[in-house]
Amino acid sequence: MSPLLSLCVFWLLPLVLMLQEHPPLDHGPRRSVPYGDNAHLFREEGVFNYSTMLLREDLDLLVLGAREAVYALDLNDISKKLASVKWEVTQQQKRECKNKGKDPEVECKNYIRILHKMKDNRMYVCGTNAFDPVCDYMSYADGKLTLQKKGEDGKGKCPFDPFQKYASIMVDNDLYSATSMNFLGSEPVLMRSSPVSIRTEFKSSWLNEPNFISMAQMSESKDNEVGDDDKVYLFFSETAVECDCYNKLVVSRVARVCKGDLGGQRTLQKKWTSFLKARIDCPVLESQLPHVIQDSYRWCDPQQNWKTCLFYAIFTPQSDTVGLSAVCAYRVSDISRVFAEGKYKTPVPVETSFVKWVMYSGEVPVPRPGACINNQAHKVGITQTLDLPDRTLQFIKDRPLMDQAIQPIGEKPLLVHRGATFTRIIVSKVQAADGEKYHVMYIGTEEGTVLKAVNYDGEMFIIEEIQLFQPPKPIKILKISDVTGQLYAGSDYGAAQIPLATCERSLSCVDCVLARDPYCGWDRVVGKCVSLSNSSRDLIQSVKEGNATLCPDTDPVKPMNCSIWPGGNLKLSCPSPSNLAQIRWQLDSHPLIPSARFQLQKDGLLIFNASDSDAGRYRCQSVERSKTDEYTETVAVYHVRIAPAGSGKSGQTSSQTQEGPSIVGLQAAVGLLVVALLALLAWNFYKGHLPLPCGKNNGGQPYEERGLNSHITYQEAGRPAEDKPLVSGRDSSSNNNHARAEAASNNAEENNAPKVNLPSLQYIDDESEI
């Protein structure tokens, strides 16, 4: 085995061993919510890429950045546009961009990428500006959005490429940004723009082909016993320098810098002296390669110390062979401890002409390299980073990478999901009826859906998956407003808004409790599933166990009457209230066994080639198991009767369609019609009214093969309609009828009945027309 391959195997071995200890948590959503259900949508024709958002709760606004436009939307209903401003590139800028080899209609536009609030209530906004990034100041007053058109240079603040990943945050009017400094994207940088510009070194040991993800500020100086400084954390992925494999290996990182960093006096002038980075792991079974971070969200309780803050992050595989996305959570205190106390990695040249990174075991300079200026530094006369000795600065310049990897809480993911790839995550905290507070995760996907999930004592439960955009477009940004209780999402297609609490989707007490949504509970008085925040009464809720035994008895389901011809087809509708439930059918209180004639579908039951024995009382039940018990609910009840042949009416149905009589009846009718037709033709030939056929009959029309099975669909209760047996004729459902004919033919073969092809006939209302 070559040294390079040996090194890769050695580096990945601990990860593989860790994966074997933790089985995956592969979960599906309990409920799937279709597009447009209870959502507000916003988009304008010709405008795309609604991927930048700023919540201005002080102004009741959602400021939305798109391609060459910024919108001010009503925070309570984003479908209402209050103001907008265009920010388009000039024709000259577009020509210059095109001359650089870029697409003039796609890349050579101004994509809004940065929107931040400043202390004076103005907004700082930056755009790609046809691969020449520029920034400006924007204000909202008297119902209007106004750009000041100052045109500040955006290099290092905003990406050149509209499709390049980036990150930014505004801290005390200082913009921290992670992007590329040049047109080619080959000079990645983490930079603070003002008042003193500080950035990273252009060295692969600092940033090696990174994809920047997100940034967050931590107020670690508050009540800090060692006098530490506030910090800014950066999450990104990059090609691993510590594993020089044949193929590039991408790893996830978290880096941090100190807010008070001013750079060094001689070494690291105007460069970060506090830049440290560490690998961040999210071990997922089935993957031999580490998953790659795609987004992160910082959650902090304002009433508690910063050490209780958490980072939630989503990870996706870097190999197409693994279809699992994951969510991992990390304590800020664990991350801080690695940077404050952990070992460093150091590069060591080896004989095979490449650099090997190993744990540094030598003497560490004092003050500690990469540390913020704290009480210990003050004791030795160092009050700012400009006072740091060159030995400390040179050490951190060569060794910014920590040896220890940061592991998630519990050393395993909170959620592993097989399905649409995760793109974004945001978290809200809510207090349930049991008095405990739960973190509800909202996870955006590549297919334009949002998963709503909660972790209950190690058990991850996906409450629902909501389709926000149609056609499906990847979710590019998520925001939550605690003021309005709404979730906001952006994609290339548009922006969407949905409430955090969607209790009205549960129509029964059992359904409401089994949803295990900490926002919702069943109100006995009004008989509805309502939000806890909107009710002062004690509600029935059991989020940890899904215990619905306290639910009152439900009213019996009103039966629906329906009928069908002998030999016809019938569909009885039964939409399942839950993806986790099983649907069971009963016929006259006996379990219905699926067969060729009784086919169970996701939304109902199909009865083929009905006979007299199929009449009776059909009951559809939803059976769902929680952690405590199994709960059965009756969803629908049908009284089915077989209509006698030749009867004019076959009973009351709900949303039904009768398309034809039985096979036997039609055989007799067709036989009589054929005899009559032959007699009529013979009479006309005898009288000379028709010439004898000598060859091809050009005027004749071929008979069409039509299915003769009835098809009844039940979609809504309480809509009686008169059903009249019809002989199957030409209609828009010829394909379906043909399929039914085949099914009937197959059933005939099974019963050794003769297979016949019957002509298409129309319903005859008056016998005198024959």
Domains and CATH numbers, the chain: 502-554 (3.30.1680.10), 560-686+704-769 (2.60.40.10)
Mean pLDDT of 503-517: 95
Burial of residue 707 (number of CB atoms within 10 Å: 0-12, 13-18, 19+): buried
Residue 691's pLDDT is 52
276 with 402: CB under 8 angstroms?
Answer: yes
Percent of residues, the chain, with pLDDT higher than 90: 67
User: Which stretches of 643-695 are assigned E, i.e. beta strand?
Assistant: 652-654
pLDDT band, very low/low/confident/very high, at 667 (cuts 50, 70, 90): low
How far, in Å, CA of 27 to CA of 580, rounded?
10
The pTM score is 0.80
pLDDT band, very low/low/confident/very high, at 528 (cuts 50, 70, 90): very high
Q: What is the mean pLDDT of the chain?
A: 84
Burial of residue 458 (number of CB atoms within 10 Å: 0-12, 13-18, 19+): exposed
H or E element in which residue 671 lies: helix 663-687
Residue 158's pLDDT is 97
Please, what is the Cα angle at 441 between 437 and 445, to 5 degrees?
175
Pairing of strands 324-331, 345-349: unpaired
How far, in Å, CA of 659 to CA of 176, rounded?
69
Q: Residue 300 in 3-state DSSP?
A: coil
pLDDT band, very low/low/confident/very high, at 38 (cuts 50, 70, 90): confident
pLDDT digits (tens, 9 = 90+) for 420-474: 999 999 999 999 999 999 999 999 999 999 999 999 988 999 999 999 999 999 9
pLDDT digits (tens, 9 = 90+) for 586-600: 999 899 988 888 999
Q: Which of 295-299, 330-334, 573-577 has the lowest mean pLDDT?
A: 573-577
Please, what is the Cα angle at 726 between 724 and 728, to 5 degrees?
155
Q: Which of 473-482, 644-653, 700-709 has the lowest mean pLDDT?
A: 700-709
Question: Which long-range CB contacts under 8 A does 235-238 form with residues at least 24 apart?
Answer: 235/167, 235/280, 235/293, 235/296, 235/311, 235/313, 236/167, 236/178, 236/207, 236/210, 236/211, 236/212, 236/293, 237/210, 237/211, 237/213, 237/292, 237/293, 238/207, 238/208, 238/209, 238/210, 238/211
Mean pLDDT of 276-284: 96
274 with 372: CB under 8 angstroms?
Answer: yes
pLDDT beyond 90 at 656:
no
Q: Residue 750: phi, psi to the nearest 5?
A: -65, -30
| CA distance readout (Å), 616 to 450, 563, 583, 609, 716 | 43, 10, 19, 15, 20
- What residue type is assigned to position 39 of the chain? A
Residue 70's pLDDT is 98
| CA distance readout (Å), 704 to 448, 676, 760 | 44, 19, 6
- What residue type is assigned to position 361 of the chain? S
pLDDT digits (tens, 9 = 90+) for 50-66: 999 999 999 999 999 99
Place of tokens 């309990």: 30
Pairing of strands 40-42, 112-117: unpaired
Q: Which of 5-9, 80-84, 186-190, 557-561 has the lowest mean pLDDT?
A: 5-9
